[in-house]
Structure 1
Amino acid sequence: MRIVIAKSYEDMSANAARMVAGQLYLKPNSVLGLATGSTPLNMYQELIKIHHEVSLDFSEVVTFNLDEYLGLKPEDENSYHFYMFQNFFKHINIQRNNIYIPNGLAQNIPAECQDYERKIQEQGGIDLQVLGIGVNGHIGFNEPDINFEAVTHKVKLDEETINVNARFFANIEEVPRYAISMGIKTIMNAKKILLLANGVSKAEALYRTIYKGITPETPASILQLHPDVTIIAEEGAAKLLRSATHDRTNLGFASE
Structure 2
Amino acid sequence: MRFCPNISTLFNDIPKLTERYIHIVQRKDYRFDAIECQNPYDVSVNNWKEIISNNKSLKWILINSLPLYDQTNMIPSFNDYQQLVLNRTLDYAKALNVKKVHLVMMDITNDSDRQKIIDLVYQAARFFQPHHIICLIEPLSTRLNYYLQSYSIAMDIVKSSKIANLKIMLDSFHLQRLHGNLTERVEEMIPFIGHVQISQTPKRDCPMNEDGEVNHRYFLSKLLAPFYQDFIGLEYNDSSKASFEWLNEFS
TM-score range, shorter chain: 0.3 to 0.5
Provide the TM-score with structure 1 as the length reference: 0.36
Superposition TM-score, scaled by structure 2 size? 0.36
